[in-house]
Structure 1
Amino acid sequence: MTATRPQPGRNASPRTARAINDRLALHLLHREGPLTAAQLKELTGLSRPSVADLVERLQESGLIEVVGESGAARRGPNARVYGIVAGRAYVAGLDVRVDSIGVEIADLLGTTLTRAGLTVPDGADPAATIESGVRLLLDAAGGKPLHTVACGAPGLVDPGTGRLAATGELPAWHADLVDEVRRRTGVPVLLENEVNLAAVAEQRLRGGAPDETFVLLWIGGGVGAALMLEGRLRRGTSGGAGEVGFLPVAAGGRLPTATNCDDGFHGLAGSHAVCALARAHGIPAGPLADAAAAADAVRAGSPAFLDELAGRIAVGAAAICAVLDPGTVVLAGEVGAAGGTDLAERVAGRLALLSPLRTRVLATAVPSGPILRGAVITAMDRAQDALFSPQP
């Protein structure tokens, strides 16, 4: 275990220096798990008295507690092991789709406590849907005070206002639900494009370098992408980075329009296209042609069907790689997750024929609930920043 200790400025006050050291210790305890005072001394480079002081301060603030004793053989009592108080704060993630709402409640360390969801039928009353969504969140929290909520939704999130941009493709209650959650909970509510949150989960849970670059290509009901460049999400000037459904790569030379991407990459690889392709190969596909039906078709797919689907996905991936050269493309979404490594390898083979750039194609490491998990990670990071921040 190693850590680089941040160096306070020469003119930093003792109070500021103590706060910076406290934050370092808290991040180490989150990253490494429970530690003894001796281990904190080794990792921070602080003196023994300084570590003793910060442990006392953090215990008094309710941020850490004794969680056990070290088992090492030594004279005298075993050393106390300190860990972060996970119940110091609670966070929530929301996954708001066109036809469903999901919620996950977690503690300050991101451990899931509750998951719940509801289906939103076509033509549902907007006001009733909003009330049901808020009630779903509050019931899942079970009376636990929430510190931060993060919400993922399809569409463009305006960087200036933090609200969903108006679009005819999404129900109006989406933006209103987020506003009502803010009003009813009275806590910070962060809004992010849902594919971006899936990329956050991918980055954190895959275990790659914190500054890695990759594109997460979401293939589900629609298609989208999240651009993780050197460890940071690239959202674009208007929040539209990754709207690859509008890539003009449809067959027959047709072009998408500013308001319809059916003749773009969406029409080539979205769920309706995947289900139609499956039926052409004699594979049953659900009548709704939604993301679940497309995923079922992929799981039941023949090699010829998977090869043709991989060729379609590779066309979009090649366009993305020609501009960004990310080095890695991760296949996610319901279809990407259902295809797993088999589909990823087929896409990699077709991509190598279309692009001179060396690009790995990987199956997602978070096949289940990536949007909720990314929302929880986002909310947890914000809560930790607030609770762990130096207070000079």
Structure 2
Amino acid sequence: MNRLIDRMIQDREVEEIGQTSSTGGRPARLVRFNASAHAVLAVELGGHRISAAVTDLDAQVLLRDACLVDSQVRGAGRDVFEAVAVLASGLIEKAATQRIEVRTVCVGVPGVVRHRRGLVEFAPAVQWFDFPLVPLLEERLGVAVRVENDVNLAAVAELRHGAARGRSDVLTVLLGTGVGAALILDGRLYRGAVGAAGEFGYTMMSRSSLDSPWPGFGDLESRIGAAGVLRRHGYTSVTEPDAESLLARVRGGDPVARAVFDGLVDDLALSIANASALLNPELVVLGGESGRAAAELMLPAIGRRLNGRIPFVPELVAAELDDAALIGAAEVAIDASAGGATLLE
């Protein structure tokens, strides 16, 4: 044990603050965790921007930056990688000028990830298919890199810091530009056979779903993702749809907006009902930009639709954290930098 403590002190992971009083034997050393021993870098690929933050070992943000990703860049996987690499290297260099050592990077990606191989198998939003993100980014940055599904990371953040604290069986659903989910079962994140568990957007909603090819975006996402909501219900707007404008119209009594909202709630309730009947989560956390904005109206409406229709209705709550996927990425990078196990292993 003393050798382990000596190594941790040498690595500045803990610091010695004194000794206990002797009771006849050798006094024990008192140590405390040193959150500033080194730092990690968290990166999140969003629908329209890439966000990144350098954090200490308590996941407290020290530096942050972001860049917009336009539609042309999103259509070219190598260009997205270049944007990630430039943003990450810039923050690592900025941290170094402040004597902050970044040891590990974790990137959250909207897609299916083979995390042990460092491979993004399927991420249509950024046009990454069998893309070797980890080796390419490690070569570019010169530090260890992890890659994880962004919804998994958000679920980890909510479990450790947010709405799911103290829970063991949780379904986290993110609603925004796209639709995704993550499963915490018996206290651990469930990845599935090939890491594709939680691809909630591919839930089939009707018999007609069987006639649609699977590549691209799934049936549920085509209905309740940001772009699909208005298109499916025939709602027209001169601007790109956003949750706040739709909700304002719903609260104002606009019948067309109300129809859009009710259809959205119906689809989401059906999907949550099916997942709950199969998996029996104690809690469903609704997050994402659109999900959090709509939670006050949406969660009671979903609850009314589920009551009496499935054997056990889970508790429905709104996500608590801003930047949940970014916080989750920091947590995974912190665990990896210390050589510890994470919920994602």
User: 1:110-147 deviations in whole A, cap 9, x for unaligned?
Assistant: 11111211011122365554333222112223123321
* SS in structure 2 at match of 1:117: strand
Matching residue of 1:64? 14
User: 1:10-48 deviations in whole A, cap 9, x for unaligned?
Assistant: xxxxxxx446xx6xxxxxxxxxxxxxxxxxxxxxxxxxx
Structure index of larger Rg? 1
1:88 equivalent to 2:37? Answer yes
User: 1:360-388 deviations in whole A, cap 9, x for unaligned?
Assistant: 1111111x21111110111112223369x
1:120 equivalent to 2:69? Answer yes
1:135 equivalent to 2:86? Answer yes
Q: Is the 8 A contact 2:157 2:331 kept in 1?
A: yes
Matching residue of 2:328? 374
Q: Is the 8 A contact 1:274 1:294 kept in 2?
A: no
User: 1:265-307 deviations in whole A, cap 9, x for unaligned?
Assistant: 2233211233347874xxx756334xxx235423553374544
Q: Is the 8 A contact 1:159 1:238 kept in 2?
A: no
Which AA in structure 2 matches 1:301? V
User: 1:165-196 deviations in whole A, cap 9, x for unaligned?
Assistant: 14655424994654432112222211111111
Identity fraction in percent: 26
1:272 equivalent to 2:227? Answer yes
Q: 271, 296, 307: which one pairs with 1:352?
A: 307
Tell me: CA distance 1:300–1:103, structure 2 relative to 1, closer, same or farther (3 Å).
farther
Tell me: CA distance 1:332–1:286, structure 2 relative to 1, closer, same or farther (3 Å).
farther
Post-superposition shift, 1:81?
8.5
| Aligned residue runs from structure 1 range 175-214, under 5 A | 175=131, 178-206=134-162, 208=164, 212-214=168-170
Which AA in structure 2 matches 1:63? E
Which AA in structure 2 matches 1:134? A
Q: Which runs of 5+ in 1 are unaligned?
A: 1-16, 23-53, 69-79, 388-392
Q: Which runs of 5+ in 2 are unaligned?
A: 19-28
CA distance in 2, matches of 1:60, 1:157: 35
CA distance in 1, matches of 2:120, 2:185: 23
* SS in structure 2 at match of 1:245: helix
Tell me: CA distance 1:104–1:236, structure 2 relative to 1, closer, same or farther (3 Å).
same
CA distance in 2, matches of 1:299, 1:82: 53
CA distance in 2, matches of 1:300, 1:369: 26
Report the RMSD for the aligned CA atoms in angstroms: 3.2
CA distance in 2, matches of 1:59, 1:309: 54
Q: TM-score, normalised by structure 1?
A: 0.71
Matching residue of 2:188? 232
